[in-house]
Structure 1
Amino acid sequence: MLKEILAADIFLWRNKKVSAGVLVGATAIWVLFELLEYHLLTLVCHILILLLAILFLWSNVTKFIKKSPPRIPEVHLPEEPFLQVVSALTIEINRALAVLRDIAAGRDLKKFLGIIVGLWVLSILGGCCNTLTLFYIAFVLLHTLPVLYEKYEDQVDSFVEKAMIEIKKQYAKFDEKVLSKIPKGPLKDKKRA
């Protein structure tokens, strides 16, 4: 009986061989594309060329040695899962656009400042390395942080609690010295969600 492997099991290193294999695979892909400057389209084309050449030769050689040709299965992708993914993605994109519209309309200063700071940090990271490297870093963090948190949960929770208290103190100071001095215009009727 095949045991179902869940993403949580991989990220929490419950099956060390599979987790290590995934991490090594991601590292190999990153090295292939980033350090060796190989391109995805080139890789896909080379794999397809190799696969088609092997199957073509195998099919033709079997005629000469009186063997049966390889069975190449017909592949049909079901339409339903793709439509569900696109539908869910559309809902999330519309939700994000609504939040951005509310922020741009000046309704939530805290979210506006948070988004500006987040985009600024991303732009700095983007200037330091390319998108593939950022995805690789995020993947490695996703692959290591959950298991470290599970192992050192009490210490992390204690540290985060202290950090949140300090962040709230600093925000209160910022609010008192900066945000409270920003003039506020007349309130307009807000739409009820």
Structure 2
Amino acid sequence: MADSATQSPYISSSLGGGLSEPGSGPSPAGGRDCKGGGSPPCAVRDLIFWRDVKKTGMVFSTTLILLLSLAAFSVISVASYLILALLSVTISFRVYKSVIQAVQKSEEGHPFKAYLDLDVTLSSEAFHNYVNAAMVHVNRALKLVIRLFLVEDLVDSLKLAVVMWLMTYVGAVFNGITLLILAELLVFTLPVVYEKYKTQIDHYVGIVRDQTKSITAKIQAKLPGVAKKKPE
């Protein structure tokens, strides 16, 4: 029991338990623990739970159109058309404002001056903070990959093998862009459905989880070289 207490809380189970921060409890559904915060996790929760319908609708429609465009055209074509569309809007607006100022003989100046004066430089401190935050996730992923491919836990490695075997069938039916489109549709629909039907979904998920644990325990008992866990 002493060894299990000192085990890293981040990689307790490769595929079954997910990642968890030490000392953090379950957050309320829909991210309601974000009280007046503007942090990225809270903003993402508000976005996928449709707290602001206009903002979520704009993000959802824009990204969906982009993915559908990538499914029909090449990345170079989509990027070129997007840049041309943006330039068409900005150039047209710049010319329009210049004509209006010439006719009215006003001196309003450049229409995008407020945006041109914005400080968009990235400080070295902010850059290092982003790099350090990214390195935490990279190191965690490397440790997880080493555990799985060097078979530290036979059951976890077998789970990964089964998932990859299933993904070969998924890859034969869908390509990467199609999977991204389906993922976006699920991200913007499943959280809202779960929030609405949380009690019923938790009930059925609990039944499935109990059956999965029972089947996993039976498989572990039959696998050679797998140490049986002592009941706590």
Q: Normalising by structure 2, report the TM-score.
A: 0.61
- CA shift at 1:56, angstroms? 7.4
* SS of corresponding position for 2:67: helix
1: CA distance between counterparts of 2:57 and 2:89? Answer: 27
**Greater displacement, 11-20 / 63-72:** 63-72
- CA shift at 1:101, angstroms? 1.6
Letter in 2 for 1:29: L
* Unpaired segments ≥5 residues, structure 1: 185-193
* Larger fraction in helix: 1
Counterpart in 1 of 2:88?
50
The alignment status of 1:171 with 2:209, answered yes or no, reads no
The alignment status of 1:24 with 2:61, answered yes or no, reads yes
Q: 1:7 aligns with which of 40, 44, 52?
A: 44
Q: 2:180 aligns with which of 135, 155, 159?
A: 135
**Greater displacement, 137-146 / 168-177:** 168-177
The alignment status of 1:41 with 2:79, answered yes or no, reads yes
1: CA distance between counterparts of 2:53 and 2:98? Answer: 43
* Unpaired segments ≥5 residues, structure 2: 1-36, 227-232
Q: 2:121 aligns with which of 49, 56, 77?
A: 77
Counterpart in 2 of 1:120?
165
* SS of corresponding position for 1:43: helix
1: CA distance between counterparts of 2:62 and 2:197? Answer: 27
**Greater displacement, 52-61 / 41-50:** 52-61
* SS of corresponding position for 2:51: coil
2: CA distance between counterparts of 1:22 and 1:105? Answer: 41
Compared CA separation, residues 56 and 155, structure 1 to 2 (3 A): closer
Letter in 2 for 1:153: K
Compared CA separation, residues 104 and 173, structure 1 to 2 (3 A): same
2: CA distance between counterparts of 1:117 and 1:92? Answer: 24
Letter in 1 for 2:130: V
Q: Normalising by structure 1, report the TM-score.
A: 0.72
Q: 2:199 aligns with which of 154, 160, 165?
A: 154
Compared CA separation, residues 13 and 166, structure 1 to 2 (3 A): same
